[in-house]
Amino acid sequence: MWQRTFIMAFFLLPLLLGAQGNILSTYSQGKYSDCLANCKEQLEANPKDSMALYIQGLCLIQAQDYKPALKSLEAAAENNFQPSANVQMQQARCLAQLGKQEEALDLLGKLVKEGFSSYQAFEQEQFDVFSHQEHFQSLKDSVHRRAFPCFYDPYYTHFDFWLGEWDVFVGDIKVGENSITKQEGGCSVLEQYSTARDYVGQSLNFYDPSDGLWKQLWSDNTQGLTKYIETERRPGYLQFISESSSTPANNGTLRMTFTLQEDGSVRQFIEQKQTPESEWQSAFDGRYVKRENKN
């Protein structure tokens, strides 16, 4: 008897997967009406299909039909849809829009307490009703810390004094513009440098926990590639020395220092020497001034 049951299940499995595949496909393509029709068909065949119940709830949320969406999500939870945190988050979206804000906040609080870490989920438009709600903002901040720890770790934030949109000067002459932004959830700093001439370049800067040092990898349109490693760090100050360089004009060793100035500008000072016995020679002495917002 068990053999017959196994054989039937084996042949039915592709059909079941096919039906669920259609549901997932139409949802991912934003074809919510088709998705609802596919969910309805699947649930007529199997009323306890937790995945179909869950996706049906999502489609109904897209249609802003929150009451039946909540009912479908509750049924998905009753039928053990996993991960359960996903169902609870969608339920909170519905509750927020149905005027049951305390219930929604209680559910969100439970999720945060249990380790929920999807910050994007808290950015859903259904939670706009909480935009001035202190408790919701507190929960959101907790999730942000969990999802993006580099934004709060002093090792990773040390170079934040260089962030911004800058005009770059040598003396009184503007030589370029530089955009310095956080990337990878705050775990790295991207530099994008341009000039009025053809010269452009960029660097990726990051704290390396394996040795506790900042690193920079610089590349430019001259086929130059330079790897730097931190030599000194203190508040508002970070110094690197080149480990290797393929830049034709810089065959020796480079030392690069960033210093935050009292007026908020940043000095980038690059020195060079051809041999270990040589004296350091100035190669670039630039001043970064925050670019005026012209909007």
For residue 11, pLDDT over 50 is answered with no
Q: Is the peptide bond before 83 cis (omega within 30 degrees of 0)?
A: yes
Reference 39, options 10, 69, 67, 78; nearest CA is 69
CA distance 125 to 141: 17
Structure tokens at 177: 């513009």
Q: Name the class of domain 154-290.
A: mainly beta
Return the CATH superfamily for domain 2-149. Answer: Tetratricopeptide repeat domain (1.25.40.10)
How far are the Cα atoms of 28, 104, 156, 165, 181 from residue 191, in angstroms, in the given order?
A: 35, 41, 16, 10, 7
Query: Would you list the domain boundaries of the chain?
Result: 2-149, 154-290
Asked if 2-149 and 154-290 have one fold, the answer is no
Provide mean pLDDT across the span 79-85.
95
- How many residues appear in the chain? 295
Q: What is the pLDDT of residue 247?
A: 65
pLDDT tens digits, 221-242: 998 899 999 999 999 999 999 9
Report DSSP letters for 158-172, one per residue.
GGGGG-EEEEEEETT
pLDDT tens digits, 84-142: 999 999 999 999 999 999 999 999 999 999 999 999 999 999 999 999 999 999 999 99
Residues β-bridged to residue 87: none
For residue 178, pLDDT over 90 is answered with yes
